[in-house]
Structure 1
Amino acid sequence: MGKNRGFTLIELMVTIAVLAIIASIAAPSFSEMMSNRQLLSVTRVMSESLNEARGRAAVMKATVVVCPNKKSDDSEFTKKNCVDNTISGADSNKYILQNRVILVQVPKKVKVSSSDLGVVFTPTGAIQAKKTFTFCINGNSQSVEVSMLGALNQTKGTC
């Protein structure tokens, strides 16, 4: 008779138990890493959108508005809300049809903790006052600050 090769049931169960213990140790750090990636992603998208809006305003020689898709209370914020709340007396439909409104998609888990509802770029690519958008998830925050000339600055912090 030949020699049987293979694993016993006990050896397989011990191996699976060890893998389960290692996975349970790694899971919290993996979830934190995913949260941080979401935070960095939304900050990057906001920065790109602000740069795009600044360039679009200068090229079109027209006002362009950028807003996140939700407010600090997690209520939905549409393109129409964006124009109505940032430019008094403006025809929001005209802005939307002329592609002069950029709405930044913020994931559900990420909280917007900013008093600024949006940024209005003038036809020269500047803004009237410095604006800051802060995004939070799991106690970590990332802020995007827009200077009056349209320059961006990103900072990390806590919520």
Structure 2
Amino acid sequence: MIRRRSAGFTLIELLVTIGIGAILVMLALPSFTEAIRSNRVTTAANQMLATVNLARGEALRSKSSAHVCPRNDTGTACGSDWTKGMLVWTDENGNGKFEEAEVKRVVEPQQGIQLKFGNFTDIAFDERGRPQPLKAFAFSMQASVCKTNAETRRDFAINRMGQVSMTRAKCQ
């Protein structure tokens, strides 16, 4: 009797391999989703830190006040909703009012991020890099969808000297 040598996989072997692969993907997906969420918060936090530091640096460099404010619906002026993005501008002519020609940077909004700014609609720095009014500011951001006890919240504090600090915290 002649034996034939088969090359390849049988249908049963292929289905078992696909089934094991599907189970492994289902086990890994929740942790991968949390990693993506954490990465989004980290990216948004770094962008916020860079934006506030840019405004402070512009105030020191230009010897005029600098502001970070939320964009309006059209993105061409200051508004009241921080989730629509931000504008960094300097008051070069000293009139204390926003003018489109004074914009230094337009910051696009981050998707999947929730911002909590309290009751202030503007972060301003004087020509010496101190916040205006001369008081400390605090605000936070976190993922829109949070897993319990996940450290996907960032708390920001701007002290009276204008230094910005950021700490990680558990989602609320």
TM-score range, shorter chain: 0.7 to 0.9
In structure 1, how many angstroms separate the alpha carbons of the residues matched to 2:39 and 2:29?
A: 15
Alignment correspondent of 2:129: 125
Structure 1 alignment gaps of length 5 or more: 71-75
Once the 2 structures are TM-superposed, how far is the Cα of residue 103 of structure 1 from its aligned partner?
A: 4.6
Instruction: Name the one with the larger helix percent.
Output: 1
Alignment correspondent of 1:141: 153
Cα distance change on mapping 1:106 and 1:30 into 2, 3 Å: same
Give me the TM-score of the superposition, normalised by structure 2: 0.74
Higher relative contact order (CA 8 A, sep 6+): 1
Aligned length: 147
Structure 2 alignment gaps of length 5 or more: 81-90, 147-151
In structure 2, how many angstroms separate the alpha carbons of the residues matched to 1:32 and 1:117?
A: 31
8 Å Cα contact 2:69-2:78 kept in structure 1: no
Residue deviations 1:38-85 (CA, integer Å, cap 9, x gap):
111111111111111111111101111113558xxxxx59452259xx
Cα distance change on mapping 1:69 and 1:30 into 2, 3 Å: farther
Once the 2 structures are TM-superposed, how far is the Cα of residue 110 of structure 1 from its aligned partner?
A: 0.5
Residue deviations 1:97-125 (CA, integer Å, cap 9, x gap):
1235x454332211112213331011111
Equivalences for 1:25-104 in 2 at 5 Å? Answer: 25-69=27-71, 78=75, 80-82=77-79, 90-93=96-99, 96-100=100-104, 102-104=105-107
Give me the TM-score of the superposition, normalised by structure 1: 0.80
1:33 alignment partner, SS class = helix
In structure 2, how many angstroms separate the alpha carbons of the residues matched to 1:123 and 1:148?
A: 14
Question: Would you say 1:109 and 2:106 are equivalent positions?
Answer: no
RMSD of aligned Cα (Å): 2.5
8 Å Cα contact 1:66-1:103 kept in structure 2: no
User: Which is further off, 61-70 or 50-59?
Assistant: 61-70
Spell out structure 1 runs of 4+ moving beyond 6 A: none
